[in-house]
């Protein structure tokens, strides 16, 4: 019990100290911030249009800019690239901008149909519920522990009435406590690795999940 308590504290500290310094604007992002970056690149002579949609042309323009300035040419607009390009610190990339939430859900939806494997951790060949949420949150820079019960100790508790897309939802299924989890995507639905259907979208109002729902956590 003492070991488990210490482990929980350490994992909670890791999850709660997660910083979005590692977050960068990247392909697929959209919005005012992207248009500003594109406009700056366009004024500098790069072949890109300021349409607010971070597509392939923007990736290539960013790579060219990075090469010119002696940076790693990864096509991502992180802190260093943004500062060199825009002449100011990168703005906070937050849920409010909707970039992070959209990226999280887009990443999650890519793997619909992957089979469920208890203890599995492959997004392509087989995965279980907590490995799935762990890897999808990791794709936006949020580090979570491996199992549902430990993940349930992370983040900030939110009521069902206050759920917003990107929150992690938890259920008690085959054992006491949090033994199943998924990612809320809005409209009363969540995406998860179901033991029956693999990675799929289900409703929180489904009688099975409604009766086993135990709470949610906001991880960013």
Yes or no: say if 132 and 199 are a contact pair by the CB < 8 Å rule: yes
Q: 215 — phi, psi (to 5°)?
A: 150, 180
CB 144, CB 13: distance < 8 Å: no
Please tell me whether residue 210 adopts helix, strand or coil conformation.
helix
Active-site residue 129, yes or no?
Answer: yes
Residue in 69, 154, 180, 181 annotated catalytic: 180
Specify whether the CB–CB gap between 113 and 102 falls below 8 A. no
Rounded CA-CA distance 131/65 in Å is 37
Report the distance separating Cα 43 and Cα 199, nearest Å.
44
Helices (H), 78-194: 79-86, 99-109, 129-138, 148-151
Helix axes 32-43, 56-68, angle to 10 degrees: 50
Distance separating alpha carbons of residues 58 and 28, to the nearest angstrom: 10
Known catalytic membership, residue 192: yes
Whether 181 is catalytic is: no
Tell which residue, 139, 169, 120, has the closest CA to residue 22. 139
Catalytic residue set: 129, 180, 192
């Amino acid at each position: 019990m003492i070991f488990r308590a210490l482990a929980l504290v350490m994992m909670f500290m890791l999850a709660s100290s997660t910083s979005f310094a590692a977050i960068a604007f990247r392909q697929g992002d959209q919005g005012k911030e992207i248009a500003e970056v594109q406009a700056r690149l366009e004024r500098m002579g790069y072949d890109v249009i300021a349409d607010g949609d971070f597509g392939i042309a923007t990736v290539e323009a960013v790579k060219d800019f990075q090469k010119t300035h002696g940076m790693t040419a990864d096509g991502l607009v992180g802190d260093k690239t943004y500062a060199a390009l825009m002449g100011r610190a990168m703005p906070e990339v937050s849920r409010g901008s909707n970039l992070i939430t959209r990226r999280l859900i887009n990443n999650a939806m890519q793997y619909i149909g992957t089979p469920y494997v208890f203890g599995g951790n492959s997004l392509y060949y087989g995965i279980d519920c907590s490995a799935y949420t762990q890897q999808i949150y990791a794709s936006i820079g949020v580090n979570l522990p491996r199992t549902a019960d430990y993940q349930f100790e992370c983040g900030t508790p939110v009521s069902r009435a206050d759920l917003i897309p990107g929150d992690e939802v938890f259920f008690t299924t085959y054992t006491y406590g949090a033994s199943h989890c998924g990612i809320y995507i809005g409209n009363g639905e969540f995406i998860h690795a179901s033991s029956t259907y693999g990675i799929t979208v289900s409703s929180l109002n489904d009688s099975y999940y409604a009766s086993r729902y135990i709470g949610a956590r906001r991880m960013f």
